[in-house]
Structure 1
Amino acid sequence: MKATRICLVRHGETTWNAEKRIQGQIDIGLNSAGLVQAEAAARWLSGQPVAALYSSDLLRARQTAERIAVRLRLQPHFLAEFRERRYGFFEGLTYDESRARYPAEYRLFETRDPAFVIPFGGESLQQLHERVGTALARLAVEHGGQTIVVVTHGGVLDIVNRLARGNALSNPRDFLIPNAGINWVTGDGEAWRLEAWGVTAHLNQFGLDELP
């Protein structure tokens, strides 16, 4: 089977990103800077031979994907599998507020315990890994030999980077995930290879990476 090139784009900036507030699956839209970033990413991708465009169905990703769709002249397909991680009772709080209010649980979150399910509807890293890995593999099989774009979120991209590099979920993050950053992986649904990560040359100002 021919490998699929997948360009993964993190959504543009939101006000909550700027506030270091945990969004999870709360449906926050882009701020003015994020709209500019989304358009910049769209312009950069306009010359790529893209066969299909996919996106998380959360508003901040949809707004980013819609601008890319105009440049690529493609209809975006919105998939819940590429939503941000569910952060349970951390959602709506800043990272500092989460640490102060739920210190024991935040410690498990901060140290990346793969099995820790965040209370009140959250996901573990293992659950997120299964969701993202399955969806990405399916797209690779469906688009063998093609180039596609997926617009998604920081937590999802954290998983993709580890899939491509073969790194454990519990390892501290050693890479950036900037808003509107461009990331490339190649794979056939089983094996993955990292081509480029955190590309921001298309942005006038470096995108935020507010993730812990």
Structure 2
Amino acid sequence: MTTIAMRLCLVRHGETAWNAEQRMQGHKDLPLSPEGLEQAEQAGGLFVGLKAAALYSSDLQRAWQTAQPIAAALGLPITRLTALRERNYGRCEGMIRHEVAARYPDDATALRERTPDYVLPGGESLNQHRRRIEACINALAEKHAGETVVVVTHGGVLDLIYRRATDTPIEKPRDFPIPNTGICWLNIAGDDWQIEQWADTAHLGERGAIEVTANF
């Protein structure tokens, strides 16, 4: 039996103050910066006229603030899902790279080397986060087979989805972009995840080349 694909549009949230400072956010619930609010408005304009069945967002405010202009353009409510949250970085949240290295060297090594099963104290491992995200996307694909769905989420979530779609090992250093309000399109049918377009930032003009993240 042929599995009917869901067409999925993924949007990373707009910039926050901690993005600009390269601080690890995780589950910390920060709002968008003025720059991020402007990015969200610019992204929202892309969705005018798009026929989508549903709009989902992480329940953290930087994501659902980004989703608000998209909701206005689509004429849809925002369904917030805790499962779409960023990885929980536990005790490392709020820190920048050298602060983690100085205070928690084992955490810094695991983050830098992308150790799959290292559980950050108070947080999650990469594999725990991966399982959460893949279960969420698979559930949406089953619910919305044959439909177009928009999801607003986080950089770490997009990292894992890209790796799943391209069969890229979770330990491999990232060599693909995940800019704020980057637009990604995928087709998901069962175990087959195919990328149509990745990290489009044409709506941001020259600022589309800037990526602010706390990657190790």
Give me the TM-score of the superposition, normalised by structure 2: 0.95
Q: CA deviation at 1:24?
A: 0.5
Is 2:165 the counterpart of 1:170? no
Aligned to 1:208: 211
Cα root mean square deviation, aligned: 1.0
1:39-84 CA-to-partner distances (Å, cap 9, x unmatched) read: 1111012232211100000010010111110111000100000001
Whole-Å Cα distance in 2 between the matches of residues 194 and 60 of structure 1?
25
Whole-Å Cα distance in 2 between the matches of residues 141 and 186 of structure 1?
12
Say which of 73, 79, 82 aligns to 2:81: 79
Question: Is this contact kept in 1: 2:23–2:214, CA < 8 A?
Answer: no
For 2:105, give the aligned amino acid. Answer: P
Whole-Å Cα distance in 1 between the matches of residues 154 and 190 of structure 2?
20
Whole-Å Cα distance in 1 between the matches of residues 184 and 28 of structure 2?
24
Say which of 6, 12, 15 aligns to 1:13: 15
Q: Taking structure 1 as reference, are residues 40 and 31 closer, same or farther at Cα in structure 2, changes over 3 Å only?
A: same
Q: After the TM superposition, which of the residue ranges 201-210 and 20-29 deviates more from structure 2?
A: 201-210
Is 2:55 the counterpart of 1:53? yes
Whole-Å Cα distance in 2 between the matches of residues 74 and 105 of structure 1?
41
Is 2:132 the counterpart of 1:123? no
For 1:45, give the aligned amino acid. Answer: F
SS at 1:29 equivalent: coil
SS at 2:202 equivalent: coil
How many residues were matched structurally?
211
SS at 1:139 equivalent: helix
Q: CA deviation at 1:14?
A: 0.3
For 2:186, give the aligned amino acid. Answer: V
SS at 2:136 equivalent: helix
Whole-Å Cα distance in 2 between the matches of residues 106 and 211 of structure 1?
12
Is 2:33 the counterpart of 1:31? yes
Runs of 4+ in 1 over 6 A off after TM superposition: none
Structure 1, unaligned stretches of length 5 or more?
none
Seq. identity, %:
48
For 1:43, give the aligned amino acid. Answer: G
Structure 2, unaligned stretches of length 5 or more?
none
Question: Is this contact kept in 2: 1:13–1:208, CA < 8 A?
Answer: no
Aligned to 2:106: 104
Aligned to 1:62: 64
Whole-Å Cα distance in 1 between the matches of residues 175 and 106 of structure 2?
24
Aligned to 1:150: 151
Q: CA deviation at 1:209?
A: 3.3
Is 2:162 the counterpart of 1:161? yes
Question: Is this contact kept in 2: 1:54–1:79, CA < 8 A?
Answer: yes
Q: CA deviation at 1:105?
A: 1.8
Q: CA deviation at 1:208?
A: 2.4
For 1:56, give the aligned amino acid. Answer: S
For 2:196, give the aligned amino acid. Answer: E
For 1:64, give the aligned amino acid. Answer: T
Q: CA deviation at 1:19?
A: 0.3
Q: CA deviation at 1:107?
A: 0.6
* Residue pairs, 1:87-102, within 5 angstroms: 87-102=89-104
